[in-house]
Amino acid sequence: MNAVHGAVQATGADTGVAAHYGDPLREQRALVRGQAVVDQSHLGVLTVQGPDRLTWLTTLSSQVLTALAPGQSAETLFLSVQGRVEFAPHVLDDGTRTWLIVEAHELQPLKDWLERMRFALRVEIADRSADVAVVAAVQMPEHVRAASARLSAVEEGLPETEANAGIVLMWTDPWPGVLNGGWAYGITDGHPAAGRCWHQALVARTELVDVLTGPAADGMQLAGSWAAEALRIEAWRPRPGVDTDDRSVPHELDWLRTAVHLEKGCYKGQETVARVHNLGHPPRRLTFLDLDGSEHTVPPAGSEVLLGDRVVGRVTAAQLHHEAGPVALAVLKRAVDPTADLTVRAVPSTSAQQPDDDSHDDAPLEHWAAAQTVVVPPEAGQTVQREKGFLRGPR
């Protein structure tokens, strides 16, 4: 809601919505208490309709979706032949169509790819982003749930008197649970996201302003994307296009928990998933960083992570958390000592300098001391063989 007084425009992956509305920490606290909602209308929404939709999506992706019941949520990955993460949609089925909530940058490439993969199957793919919007919350308010049910009823062609009988089109995040067929490389007991709730509801875009600021929203606050990101970072929750790049494999981000079924049949990238899990190690690992708060700033995405003078990784996302202070997620080289103290260094930006302006050439780069908390341990991988004794040393 960029039109709301005090709204500050977000950048990067959240361009198109508000970063905050004047007080990011207060917005975070309200969000945690279930007293705020987040406008995520910049996200893309696709539908896949037809009797073959769930079987077809299962054959293409890392997750088993064939048993997805109306109203149930799931998460899946579409991988490259090399097993690298290309798309990571949030999946919701209503009994007639499957809804895919995706990052804005994923929308058109994913739609184009799905169209190419249709062959003779009975599926129809549609971009619904122009008429359907996403609203997120820790605790979804009843008026948003009602708006989502109205959208569902309209989709099913129900009379207005039966509008409330529609399914609530709301995706519930499974993180950090370990789903059937999944595997956790990181901790399970004591995970910081244990008990976490995060929901994304679909509403008609024509109702979005009223849902967020109308009479029914009285008593609810608006929280910006910064608040949502701070809670995501604290939960170690991977986000496509933010914590991933063109080399990312699911194992590096502990994504086998919720988005990969290790026992399902063949899909593109499966060989890499199985090989890394059974025989090798992911080349990099996600880590959580507690940052020195004395600077009163957070490093921008892409900042370098240093071990001594050596660059060992990069920050993917950082925010100021309302309780923990400045926190970040970073992807590091696998062999970096998990107990080592690190330093984060901002990468110099020359975009604002004139070609003949060298006044800042010698300015020191901002640094933050950083303490690690392991998300994906360096020994991740080779899990099945170690437990079952398939790998044996020489005689």
Q: Coil, strand or helix: which one is 63?
A: coil
Q: Average pLDDT, stretch 256-278?
A: 95
Same domain, 218 and 367: no
- Mean pLDDT, rounded, for 239-256: 97
Q: Are residues 178 and 298 located together in one domain of the fold? A: no
Q: Where residue 304 sits, what CATH number does that domain have?
A: 2.40.30.110
Tell me whether residue 388 is in a domain: no
Any domain includes 247 = no
Tokens 């769930």, residue located: 54
**What number is the average pLDDT over the span 156-162?**
66
CA 275 to chain centroid: 25
Total number of domains constituting the chain: 2
- In three-state secondary structure terms, 132 is strand
What DSSP state is assigned to residue 163? Answer: G
On whether both 156 and 28 belong to a single domain, the answer is yes
Domain co-membership, 36 together with 175? yes
Q: Is the pLDDT of residue 395 over 70?
A: no
Task: Please tell me whether residues 26 and 167 are part of one structural domain.
Answer: yes
Q: Pairing state of beta strands 85-87 and 124-127?
A: unpaired
345 falls within a domain: yes
Residue 47 belongs to what H/E stretch?
Answer: strand 44-49
Each residue's pLDDT tens digit, 176-195: 999 999 999 999 999 999 99
- In which element (H, E) is residue 151 found? helix 142-155
pLDDT for 390 beyond 70: no
Asked if residues 240 and 106 have their Cβ atoms less than 8 Å apart, the reply is yes
Span 357-372, average pLDDT: 74
52 pLDDT tier (thresholds 50, 70, 90): very high
- At 87-112, the pLDDT tens digits run 999 999 999 999 999 999 999 999 99
| 227 and 294 inside one domain | no
- Predicted confidence at residue 255, as pLDDT, reads 98
pLDDT band at 161 (very low <50, low <70, confident <90, very high): low
Domain span holding position 362? 284-375
The pLDDT of residue 381 is above 50: yes
What are the Cα distances from residue 45, in Å, to 56, 221, 288? 18, 24, 30
Whole-angstrom CA distances from 225 to 12, 145, 206, 293 are 11, 21, 21, 21
The whole-angstrom separation of Cα 98 and Cα 49 is: 6
The two structure tokens encoding residue 9: 């425009």
Among 30-39, 89-98, 140-149, 159-168, where is mean pLDDT lowest? 159-168
pLDDT at 391: 36
Give the model's confidence band at 201: pLDDT under 50 very low, under 70 low, under 90 confident, else very high: very high
Same domain flag for 194 and 67? yes
Q: Are 91 and 100 in contact (CB under 8 A)?
A: yes
CA distance 297 to 303: 13
Query: Does the pLDDT at position 394 exceed 80?
Result: no
Q: What is the pLDDT of residues 282-332, one digit of tens each?
A: 999 999 999 998 878 899 999 999 999 999 999 999 999 999 999 999 999
Task: Give me the pLDDT at residue 295, please.
Answer: 74
Inform me whether the pLDDT recorded for 389 exceeds 80.
no
215 Cβ partners below 8 Å, 6+ apart?
none
Q: What is the pLDDT of residue 165?
A: 64
Residue 176 is part of a domain; what is its CATH number?
3.30.1360.120
The mean-pLDDT minimum among 101-105, 218-222, 256-260 falls in 218-222
Residue where a domain terminates, one of 200, 219, 234: 234
Over 50: is that where the pLDDT of 353 sits?
Answer: no
Query: Confidence class of residue 362 from pLDDT cuts 50, 70 and 90?
Result: low
Q: Say if residue 200 is in the same domain as residue 325.
A: no
Query: Residue 387's pLDDT band (boundaries 50, 70, 90)?
Result: very low
- Percent of the chain exceeding pLDDT 70 equals 90
Pairing between β-strand 342-345 and β-strand 367-374 as defined by DSSP bridges = antiparallel
In eight-state DSSP terms, residue 162 is: G
